[in-house]
Amino acid sequence: MSASSPLFGDLLLKLGIVTPSQVQEALALQALTGQRVGEALISLGYVTREQIQDALGEALGLTSEKVASHPPLGELLVGMKYITLAQLEEALAFQRKDGRKLGEILVEMGYCTYKQIYEALSLQGRISGRQEPPRPATEGKHRVMVVDDSPLACAFVQEGLETLGYEVLCFDDPYKALEQVGRVQPAIVLTDLDMPGIDGVELCRRLKDGPARQVPVIILTANDGETERVQGLRAGADDYVNKSASMNELSARIENVMRRTGETERVRKLFARYTSDAVVEEILKSPDTVVLTGEKRVVTVLFADIRNFTGLAESLPPEQVVGVLNQVLGRLSDAVLTCGGTLDKFLGDGLMAVWGAPVHRSDDALRALQASKMMMVAMQELRAEAEAEWIADARSGQPLVLELGIGINSGEVVAGNIGGAMRTEYTCIGDAVNVASRLCALAGAGEILVGERTRFLVQGREMAFEDLPPVRLKGKQQPVPLYRAL
């Protein structure tokens, strides 16, 4: 029996809640409006919703203590035409036997879906006016993008999160959400799992593979199966929340994900000062494959040194010296990061860069040579910009022209964190590093000297070299083959 049944009026009569004339009036109104008998009696002002709920509890054989202070789930599912009265009564019979949740039984019996259960629960909360105690608004009002093909579910989440201080934008079309994510720039995305077209797992995968890959994603679903959770997490979801969770729990999950994302972004920005964005992405994507504690690697090392800088330092005030140095080294480090290298360290008026650590690529040697040529072009541009402001050498009185010498070498090194408990730095040590440093010292102004291993690694890559006589380097018993990059 439900509030839509004429027999429900008889039950109310037996309980002494209404009079026969009131029931007849409600039945007449039901014929005109299609309302349920209970709703008609409420609209006529003859009963309250609490009295209706008590009557339903009596009809279903429940004690008054077990009757909820909001419309029963079964009644709502019938009213929303998700199930029939007969299906509800069958499910309630099972519930009285095993005590499980009505929604679980209905889904198990195939009479409705988890999404329909969630929508009914959402409506149940709205009708009863049930609200959680408000919490203080979050600082900065995180912008939340909600993607769900159910307008009711979107409205429910939006209302709850806006009460807690979030800015919420809803999309009922996942394709539209993908199109607009760049414009909206949300701090986090909440997506339903089961949607037409593309589901939440595929939406998450596309977000993580696109320009918005840094935006965290939480999957919201009424289907709490392990398979679905695993699929979502493997697609890159940052968390997985059941739709039956309270708004306070959802908010706590959002804040937790935002804290983790903020820490990752802090690491990203810190690491990006030393290496390229592409390298940072690989490190954060597969941290277990990147070893920072020390291992042997084949790398390509580049040393670059500014020529005539000593004369410049003697001819200018200290603040101008620092300004010129920052300008030059800024251009040189840009070349390193653009070509995917790791900026190992600045060395006074020069720098050391590495390709192959902490992330290895098959074309590391080629990238190092490309960076060296970008550095030479940058020095030419800087000289052109400063033609009208030549600085005279303090000793000779001749104009000072800043030049660059570069040495590049490839070989096996030990890469890892070097230092103590108070301070460490990630660097490479080994013979290949020493040779690269010696080659840089030998390089003349505007010259790029390259070791034998580097030349071998870029064979067939349209790089031209000039053979030079082998040279003896400190610490090497045999002369070292030498080449000049053209």
Can you give the pLDDT at residue 432? 94
Q: Above 70 in pLDDT, residue 314? A: yes
Q: Which two tokens stand for residue 271?
A: 């690491």
What is the C-alpha to C-alpha distance for residues 234 and 232, in angstroms, rounded to an integer?
A: 5
Task: Verify that 303 and 339 share a domain, yes or no.
Answer: yes
Structure tokens at 286: 């597969």
Calpha distance 375→379 (Å, rounded): 6
For 153-182, b where at least 16 C-beta lie within 10 A, e where not — what string? bbbbbbebbeebbbbbebbbebeebbeebe
Q: What is the pLDDT of residue 136?
A: 45
pLDDT of residue 135: 45
Task: Tell whether 258 and 329 lie within a shared domain.
Answer: no
Number of H helices, E strands in the chain: 19, 15
User: pLDDT: is 80 or 146 the higher one?
Assistant: 146
Q: Which position has the higher pLDDT, 461 or 190?
A: 190
CA angle in degrees (0–180, nearest 5) for 296-300-303: 120
- CA dihedral sign of residues 251, 252, 254, 255: positive
Last residue of a domain, one of 269, 293, 315: 269
* Residue 385 belongs to some domain of the structure: yes
Q: Which residues of 19-28 are buried (b: 16+ CB within 10 A; e: fewer)?
A: eeebbebbee
Read off φ and ψ for residue 57, nearest 5 degrees: -60, -40
Looking at per-residue pLDDT, the higher value among 205 and 409 belongs to: 409
> CA-to-CA distance for 23 and 12, rounded, in angstroms?
9
Answer yes or no: is pLDDT of 226 > 90: no
In angstroms, rounded to a whole number, what is the distance separating the alpha carbons of residues 316 and 308?
Answer: 13
Instruction: Identify the domain containing residue 201 by its residue range.
Output: 143-269
Closest CA to 220 of 256, 246, 192, 252: 192
Asked whether residue 274 is domain-assigned, the answer is: no
> Is the pLDDT at 366 greater than 90, yes or no?
yes
Sign of CA dihedral 261, 262, 264, 269: positive
Taking CA atoms, 318 is separated from 313, 323, 325, 331, 417, in Å, by 7, 9, 11, 20, 33
Domain of 338, CATH number, reads 3.30.70.1230
The residues, ordered by sequence, that sit 6+ positions from 18 with a Cβ below 8 Å of its Cβ are 9, 12, 26, 41, 46, 47
Predicted confidence at residue 71, as pLDDT, reads 61
pLDDT tens, residue by residue, 263-276: 666 766 666 665 55
Q: 156 and 84: one domain?
A: no
Max mean pLDDT range (134-138, 150-154, 177-181): 177-181
Question: Which of 104, 128, 152 is the C-terminal boundary of a domain?
Answer: 128
Are residues 404 and 333 part of one domain?
Answer: yes
Within a domain: 138: no
Query: Is the domain of 437 the same as that of 462?
Result: yes
How far, in whole angstroms, is CA 279 from its chain's centroid?
Answer: 17
Q: Is the pLDDT of residue 174 over 50?
A: yes
User: Tens digits of per-residue pLDDT, 55-64?
Assistant: 666 555 544 4
Q: Does residue 277 fall inside a structural domain?
A: no
Q: How many CB atoms lie within 10 A of CB 256?
A: 13
Q: Could you tell me if 221 and 294 lie in one domain?
A: no
Query: What's the pTM?
Result: 0.52
CA 152 – CA 133 distance, rounded (Å)? 22
Beta strands in 178-223 (DSSP E): 188-192, 217-221
The segment with the largest mean pLDDT, out of 191-195, 322-326, 334-338, is 334-338
> Domain of 256: which CATH number?
3.40.50.2300
Same domain, 60 and 159: no
The whole-number pLDDT of residue 467 equals: 94
In angstroms, the CA 234 to CA 58 distance is: 48
Tokens of residue 139, six digits = 């600082």
The two three-digit tokens of residue 165, written as one number: 């201080």
Percent of the chain at pLDDT above 90? 26
Residue 278 within a domain? no
Q: How far apart are CA 29 and CA 54, in angstroms?
A: 22
* Same-domain check for residues 359 and 248: no
Q: Residue 19: which pLDDT band, with cuts at 50, 70 and 90?
A: confident
Query: How buried is residue 390: exposed, middle or buried, by Cβ count under 10 Å (0-12/13-18/19+)?
Result: exposed
**Residue 459 maps to a domain:** yes
| Same-domain pairing of 308 and 360 | yes
How confident is the model at residue 270, as a pLDDT? 63
Residue 376 and residue 261 share a domain:
no
Count of the separate structural domains present in the chain:
3
Do 25 and 156 have their domain in common? no
Residue 137 falls within a domain, yes or no? Answer: no
pLDDT of residue 188: 93
Percent over 70 (pLDDT), the chain: 73
Q: Which pLDDT value is given to residue 213?
A: 81
Query: Cβ of 245: how many Cβ atoms within 10 Å?
Result: 13
The lowest-confidence range among 45-49, 66-70, 144-148 is: 66-70
The residue that leads in pLDDT, 382 or 353, is 353
Question: Which H or E run includes 330?
Answer: helix 318-338
Confidence label for 2 from pLDDT (cuts 50, 70 and 90) = very low
Sign of CA dihedral 374, 375, 381, 385: positive
Token pair 């200290």 is found at 318
pLDDT in tens, 250-301: 888 999 888 887 766 676 666 666 555 555 665 666 555 555 667 899 999 9
* pLDDT greater than 80 at residue 199: yes
In a domain, 60, yes or no: yes
Distance CA 415, CA 298 (A): 9
Same domain? 265 vs 239: yes
Cα distances from 156 to residues 119, 124, 245, 252, in angstroms, run 9, 11, 12, 17
Q: Measured between alpha carbons, how far is 177 from 149 in angstroms, rounded to an integer? A: 11
Largest CA distance in the chain: 118
Query: What does the pLDDT read at residue 447?
Result: 95
Grade residue 67 by pLDDT with cuts at 50, 70 and 90.
very low
